[in-house]
Amino acid sequence: MEKTNFWNDAARYGVLMALVAIVFDTLGFYTQHALLSLLSLILFVLMLTWFMRLRVSRYGAHGYGYGKCLGFMVGVMLCAGFIEGAYMSVAANWLFAAKYDAMTGQQLGLLESTGFYTSDQLEMMSRWLRSPLWLIFGSMVGSAFKGGFFGLFIAAYTRRDPQPFRQNDNDGSAESDDNNANA
């Protein structure tokens, strides 16, 4: 029986997901185009599906259920969210500070125009939008929700049910496969 390493695979796939997200985040600093967002979403869903299919084909010989699929996708997205949040922290404070200020300035200006928030509350929000811990935490939570939501659908068709009557080449019983692997 092959030993599975959940977090190793989740981190490997999460790094790839984060690198693609970082490219789209960087492009988002320069252009705010709906087509770019749509392309990012499509690529995200395709990559998550592909990674889940790889995981199921590698470790699903005895079945890989819906819950395992969903849990793995959330694990991948937690890893991706950590890396993306760390990048956004660096981008917001050093790499693209002026562009980040322009983007958040518009959002805070809109909130200020509603009249619901005091200047102290808006100043606190402005500090939180630059805080590395808040950016990393927010990115991890957002990525986990995004992966969980799309994972509900992806896991439904990538899961693999166990095959109780699977024949083994040795003596015809599926139990001997487990006994041979443990020996």
Torsion angle (degrees, nearest 10) of CA 59, 65, 70, 75 = -30
Q: What is d(CA 43, CA 80) in angstroms, rounded to the nearest whole number?
A: 14
3-state class (DSSP) for residue 64: strand
| Number of other residues whose CB lies within 10 A of the CB of residue 148 | 15
Straight-line distance from the first to the last Cα atom of the chain, in angstroms, rounded to the nearest whole number: 9
- Residue 168: the pLDDT is 59
| Number of other residues whose CB lies within 10 A of the CB of residue 91 | 18
State CA 38 to chain mean position distance.
17
Q: Cα–Cα–Cα angle for 76, 81, 82, nearest 5°? A: 105
For each of the chain's 183 residues, which pLDDT tens digit applies? 456 688 999 999 999 999 999 999 899 888 878 899 999 999 999 999 999 999 998 887 777 888 999 999 999 999 999 999 999 999 888 888 888 888 888 888 888 888 888 888 888 888 888 889 999 999 999 999 999 999 999 999 888 776 666 665 454 444 444 444 444
Q: Give the residue among 11, 18, 14 at the shortest CA–CA distance from 85.
A: 18
Please report, for the chain, the start and end positions of each structural domain, with discontinuous segments joined by +: 6-162
- Residue 1: the pLDDT is 43
Q: Give the residue among 157, 166, 180, 173 at the shortest CA–CA distance from 56.
A: 157
User: How many Cα atoms sit within 13 Å of 77 on the Cβ side?
Assistant: 26
User: Residue for token digits 């496969």?
Assistant: 177
- Residue 4: the pLDDT is 61
